[in-house]
Amino acid sequence: MEGFFFIHLIVYHVFQSGLPGFLTPSGLHFPPCPSQGGQRFLVEMAAPLTLLLILAVTIRAALFRSNLAELIAERVEVVSPITAWKRVVEGLALLDLGVSPYSGDVFHETPLIIYLFHFVVDYAEITFMLADVITAVALYMAVKDYNKQVFRKQKFALEADRYPLDCLELIRSPKEMYYIPLKVAMFYLLNPFTILSCVAKSTCGLNNAVVALFILSTIKGNALLSAIFLCLATYQSIYPLTLCAPAMLYLMQRQYIPVNFRRASFWWFIAQYLFMYLGSLFVLICLSFFLLGSWDYMPSVYGFILSVPDLTPNIGLFWYFFAEMFEHFRLFFLCVFQINVFFYTIPLSVKLKEHPVFLIFMQLAVISIFKSYPTVGDIALYMAFLPVWSHLHRFLRNIFLVSCVLLACSTLFPVLWHLWIYAGSANSNFYYAITLLFNVAQILLVSDYFYAFLRREHHLTYGLYLKRKDGSEATLVLK
């Protein structure tokens, strides 16, 4: 399954980048804005999406029924101490025993999750499948809306003759963009990482659904819903806090508020959004307090995420680093590693202030690489965005290598885990090495997309075929 996915990814990339933008003059005559034919569009696209959903649900249902489900639920790559279903069940069992689930160190999910499953624990499988479906549909709708805007913006730019003439092959055609939302949904639903995560009943799927709804409401321009979903996502795992910046940038862009520190409207909007965000966060935190009647959950959930006391191996960078850390440097490195996750927000927001959706993608990727308890479910969320950036493929430098490494690592994870934990013929270094490689590959993937994005923007301003002063063909370098 994984193999299929990555081969698909490679073929997809090679195919896309191998074909030069065959822009014919006819391509310049864009069809009328798709929103006019919205009805037709909806009917045409609904059928494949429905089929996709049915396929995805079937695969998941089949896996739930198989005996693989138990095996998958134990995999450290798929579940973390926070998201493991076993721990959620333990929390429920503790509640039944009359013990606070946060009095121990097994349960680390938020009070809302435990109360959610208090009612739907018997329908957990359906809940998790539903969460995946919601994520996929939300991403589908968000990307569709986003593409419409991209297209419109491009049209205005073209009409204003803002693009250099030799850039015409960089212009995106509606034909290319037509299937992108479906591909996004497909990349999410059929990604083996998502499937594994869903079958393991990792609560990461729920977090992804919340983030997807946040993206949808942001792209639809609903500031209130955006703030509420962002607050829910933050409440679940702190890190989505950094998505605040792209959300505000996007909403301001949509409302034609200039990003200018000297303008009152800018500050007024920021204040409004932060008020909604912090207000709903306050409500959520108080609600959790009243559900349990104590603040126990604060150290148990957020303290646990930030101070990384549980060193169970996972695909991230934290576990082995802090297992091997010298005691007196622990706090220092803990701060460094945690700040690292949040730190990129500011420079990225400055650099990408015109492109908040790409900023969201970058943030999601940075979070899922550098967070303290990452799982494959987090990776699946940002990977779902890859089809949105399919027009960047001609500028990607090492996508083949990265895909191969990711593929190899994904298969080596279980192999080396088995050698270390069960066979005893390898030690922890083997597994650690694979996590390192996996993270390097992810970093390369993300920075490659970032590079390609910046390069395309550069070409759209300065022309595609750049010449040196002496008229020979020039190469672009970063300086």
Binding site for another protein (CB under 8 A): 74, 76, 86, 89-90, 92-94, 97, 99, 103-106, 309-313, 317, 319-327, 333, 337, 340, 344, 347-348, 351, 366, 369-370, 420-422, 427-429, 432, 436, 439-440, 443-444, 447, 450-451, 454-455, 458, 466, 468, 474-479
Work out how close the CB of 366 gets to another protein at its nearest, in angstroms, rounded to a whole number.
8
Work out how close the CB of 186 gets to another protein at its nearest, in angstroms, rounded to a whole number.
28
CB atoms near residue 292 (< 10 Å): 17
Work out how close the CB of 397 gets to another protein at its nearest, in angstroms, rounded to a whole number.
11
**Which pair of structure tokens corresponds to residue 446?**
């993300």
Q: Which lies closer to another protein via its Cβ, residue 105 or residue 166?
A: 105
Q: Which residues contact 411 (CB under 8 A, 6 or more apart)?
A: 2, 3
CB atoms near residue 337 (< 10 Å): 18
Q: Which lies closer to another protein via its Cβ, residue 94 or residue 247?
A: 94
Give just the sign of the alpha carbon dihedral 147, 152, 153, 155: positive
Q: Which lies closer to another protein via its Cβ, residue 210 or residue 305?
A: 305
Q: Which lies closer to another protein via its Cβ, residue 235 or residue 322?
A: 322
Work out how close the CB of 96 gets to another protein at its nearest, in angstroms, rounded to a whole number.
9
CA distances to 134, 350, 354, 358, 479 from 259, in Å: 32, 10, 10, 17, 27
Measuring CA to CA, which residue among 171, 235, 219, 195 is closest to residue 75? 195
Q: Which lies closer to another protein via its Cβ, residue 188 or residue 373?
A: 373
Work out how close the CB of 273 gets to another protein at its nearest, in angstroms, rounded to a whole number.
24
Work out how close the CB of 439 gets to another protein at its nearest, in angstroms, rounded to a whole number.
5
Asked if 184 and 385 count as a contact pair (C-beta separation under 8 A), the reply is: yes
CA distances to 239, 300, 307 from 372, in Å: 10, 14, 9
State the helix-helix crossing angle for 376-383 and 180-189, rounded to 10 degrees. 170
Asked if 230 and 275 count as a contact pair (C-beta separation under 8 A), the reply is: no
Q: Which lies closer to another protein via its Cβ, residue 107 or residue 229?
A: 107
Work out how close the CB of 419 gets to another protein at its nearest, in angstroms, rounded to a whole number.
11
CB atoms near residue 149 (< 10 Å): 15
CB atoms near residue 96 (< 10 Å): 9
Q: Which lies closer to another protein via its Cβ, residue 92 or residue 158?
A: 92
* Full DSSP string of 403-416: HHHHHHHHHHHHHH
Q: Which lies closer to another protein via its Cβ, residue 10 or residue 466?
A: 466
Q: Which lies closer to another protein via its Cβ, residue 17 or residue 447?
A: 447
Work out how close the CB of 221 gets to another protein at its nearest, in angstroms, rounded to a whole number.
28
* Full DSSP string of 249-275: HHHHHHTT----TT-HHHHHHHHHHHH
**Alpha carbon distance 430, 69 (integer Å):** 26
Work out how close the CB of 279 gets to another protein at its nearest, in angstroms, rounded to a whole number.
33
What is the distance, to the nearest Å, from the Cα of residue 399 to the centroid of all Cα atoms in its chain?
A: 18
